[in-house]
Amino acid sequence: MRSLQSFALGLTLGIALLGAAGPAAARDRARQRAEPTPAWATAEGREAARLDLVIALLEAGRPEEALELTAQLRRDGAPPAELDVHQAEALIDIGLLDDAEELLSAYLKRNPRDARAHNQLGILHMERKRVDAAVASFSDAVRHKADDPTYQNNLGFALMSAGKAEPAVEALRASLKLDGARAQTRNNLGFALVAAQREGEALRVFRAAGSEADAHYNVGVGLMLRGAAPEARAQFERALSRDPHHPHAQAALQRLGATEESPR
């Protein structure tokens, strides 16, 4: 009799456990239905992931692969509008400037406030030596996204190339306020300061990025670009006084027709 009671108790507990598991499983299924689908599992998420890959390929210097992926996105239908900008960037990288300009011009008619597109058009203008047009495009990029150090740097470089040294200094300083770690921007600022006849400030900027000899050499290069050959020679000589084996300073002096007897 005790065995029968034990069996009945065990069976009752088993039924109770099965009964409890049923509602729990239902709650799990309901929770799964209520939770949103992960972004990567949606069509939009997959498209965004491939667009991110296009950008990554461009940043890695692989424009041909980026173009292959943009073509695939177009074949799949309804590509994101900004794909035109990234495709244009890849086309610029491989030298197909006409196709890139056509894409960017059409895109900007539809999206006139897109800073990235204005920046890419500025890069294209610089490739074609259209410096004033580049200044205008980079200015548009900065106007629509003033907190991007790359756009500020590009504007500063274009202004310097256009012979507008003081505005270039202003744009480059704005870029460094946003990202002070950019060596390229510091170099650009140094050359802009030389162009603005502010060699003392330029030396301080160049010293922050390299040796004393390099700083004098860079100021000398800036003076050569400004057409100030005697002042450039003096800077190259100062560079050699700090580093007698500085190869670039030696070559620069040779180009200027200097002799070994030149005073140091």
Instruction: Classify 94 as helix, strand or coil.
Output: coil
Q: What pLDDT is stored for residue 27 in this prediction?
A: 57
d(CA 114, CA 232): 42
CATH 3.30.70, applies to 210-264: no
- Report residue 17's pLDDT band, with 50, 70 and 90 as the boundaries: very low
Percent of the chain with pLDDT over 90: 67
User: 216-240: per-residue pLDDT in tens?
Assistant: 999 999 999 999 999 999 999 999 9
Domain residue ranges in the chain:
210-264
User: 94-127: per-residue pLDDT in tens?
Assistant: 999 999 999 999 999 999 999 999 999 999 999 9
Is the pLDDT at 32 greater than 70? The verdict is no
* pTM, rounded to two decimals: 0.76
Of 6-10, 37-41, 207-211, give the lowest mean pLDDT range: 6-10
Q: What pLDDT is stored for residue 42 in this prediction?
A: 61
Question: Do the beta carbons of residue 176 and residue 186 sit within 8 Å?
Answer: yes
Residue 262 phi/psi, 5-degree rounding, is -60, 135
Quick one: average pLDDT of 9-15? 38
Q: What separation in angstroms does the CA of 43 have from each of 57, 68, 147, 225?
A: 21, 20, 32, 53
Quick one: average pLDDT of 189-214? 94
Is the pLDDT at 31 greater than 70? The verdict is no
Quick one: average pLDDT of 249-262? 73
Is the pLDDT at 260 greater than 60? The verdict is no
Cα radius of gyration rounded to whole Å, the chain: 31
Q: What pLDDT is stored for residue 66 in this prediction?
A: 93
Question: Could you tell me the sign of the dihedral formed by the alpha carbons of 157, 163, 164, 166, in that order?
Answer: positive
d(CA 258, CA 249): 11
Is the pLDDT at 14 greater than 90? The verdict is no
Residue type at position 126: M
Q: What pLDDT is stored for residue 26 in this prediction?
A: 58
At residue 197's C-alpha, the angle toward residues 191 and 202, to 5°, is: 45
129: left (phi over 0), alpha (psi -120 to 50) or beta: left
Is the pLDDT at 70 greater than 50? The verdict is yes
26: left (phi over 0), alpha (psi -120 to 50) or beta: alpha
Q: What pLDDT is stored for residue 263 in this prediction?
A: 47
Rounded to 10 degrees, the C-alpha dihedral 22/23/28/29 comes to 80
d(CA 4, CA 100): 87
d(CA 172, CA 73): 37
Q: What pLDDT is stored for residue 154 in this prediction?
A: 97
Residue 68 has which token pair? 């292959």
